[in-house]
Amino acid sequence: MLKPLDEIQAQALKALEAAEDEEQLLAWRQTFLSRSAELSQIVTAIPDLEPEERPQVGRRANEVKTRLESELARQRAALQAQALDKKLRQEALDVTLPGRPVVRGRLHPSTQNLRMILDIWREMGFQVYTSREVETEDHNFELLNMPAHHPARDMWDTFYLTTPGVLLRTHTSPGQIRIMRERTPDPIRVVLPGMCYRYEQITTRSEVQFNQIEGLAVGKHITMADLKGTLNGFARHMFGDGVKTRFRASHFPFTEPSGEVDIECFVCMGEGCSVCKHTGWLEILGCGMVHPTVLLNGGYDPEIYSGFAFGMGPERIKMLMHRLDDIRVFWANDMRFLEQF
């Protein structure tokens, strides 16, 4: 039984050397290593041999099978290398042809607008302060003059985390408390940009996430006139020297008095159109004088210090400037929209 194994090995190696492509290798494997091959039939017949022959035949059969599998792998690698070399020789490469253009990435339109607004505030002497997105309930509500069960909390539909008292910030205002506690009793003039989150229905005008820029100035003898002058200056930088503004009374728990700022519609120049809903004005931000309770919670004595705060949405301003009617386009990752910016 040993002699047939030697003959099978010699015959198989000779046939393998003659194989010239993958198809012939598959045919060779079917002939010499498949279950129907003569080698497999010898292995199957080992239990029928004499007891003293079985170990020798089994060992030799394994040696033959291992050798054939090894030579098959070697021959396949050699044929693949030959095929690659032939392909490279036959396919000429014209190095003078232009290469494929590499598409360069660019800033997201929301990021572009965010940076443009922050550059304006830097020019006006404000520092950029980055605050955390995961906040405590105290910083997001309590210390901003909104204790538990305060009706103003209904304005913010909140994402609460599994840890009690921890949430995704609903606005950038918690950063006011953090920056005041870090810098008290020094004067403050900062803007606080960042992403905010609210659990509300997604529509053309509202999203569950959006950017916001908070502004805060704290010092001695800061008045409402300082607030109006600062925001008028921002409007001129942002929308042009001839822009008209107006202040309307409003209410925010963390400012008193509170207001909202509109600019004259730059589409119809105050005549009234669909962009400004035929009012002639476009709302751009909310503002007010920092509430004494918030100053006190931040470590500033409201008898000595005062301040103003404001908040704006970069996406909303971008929508106004480009007449966009759906805020969802900012986060839809639609390249047709993004490539326009």
**Digit-coded pLDDT (tens) for 291-340:** 999 999 999 999 999 999 999 988 888 887 887 878 888 888 888 888 88
Strands 134-136 and 166-168: antiparallel
The CA distance from 233 to 307, in Å, is: 17
Q: Which residues contact 310 (CB under 8 A, 6 or more apart)?
A: 214, 215, 227, 231, 261, 285, 286, 287, 288
- Looking at the fold, whether 261 and 160 belong to one and the same domain comes out as yes
Q: Report if residue 121 sits inside a domain.
A: yes
Burial of 282 from C-beta contacts in 10 A (0-12 / 13-18 / 19+): buried
Supply the pLDDT for residue 1.
61
Instruction: For the chain, report the end-to-end CA distance as a whole number of angstroms.
Output: 80
For residue 193, the model assigns a pLDDT of: 96
Span 159-175, pLDDT tens digits: 899 999 899 999 999 99
pTM given for the model: 0.67
Same domain, 114 and 58: no
Whether 44 and 121 share a structural domain: no
- Asked whether residue 159 falls in the same domain as residue 68, the answer is no
Among 27, 57, 89, the domain-final residue is 89
Asked whether residue 251 is assigned to any structural domain, the reply reads yes
Q: Is pLDDT of 3 > 80?
A: no
Model confidence over 84-132: pLDDT tens digits?
888 877 777 777 878 888 888 889 889 999 999 999 999 999 999 999 9
CA 16 – CA 32 distance, rounded (Å): 10
User: What is the rounded distance in angstroms from the CA atom of residue 310 to the CA atom of residue 117?
Assistant: 13
- Domain with residue 179: its CATH number is 3.30.930.10
Determine the structural domain holding residue 24 and report its residue range. Answer: 2-89
340 CB neighbour count, 10 Å cutoff: 8
Residue 178: closest CA among 280, 16, 317, 297: 297
State whether 165 and 61 are in the same domain.
no
CB 233 within 8 A of CB 121: no
| Number of domain units in the chain | 2
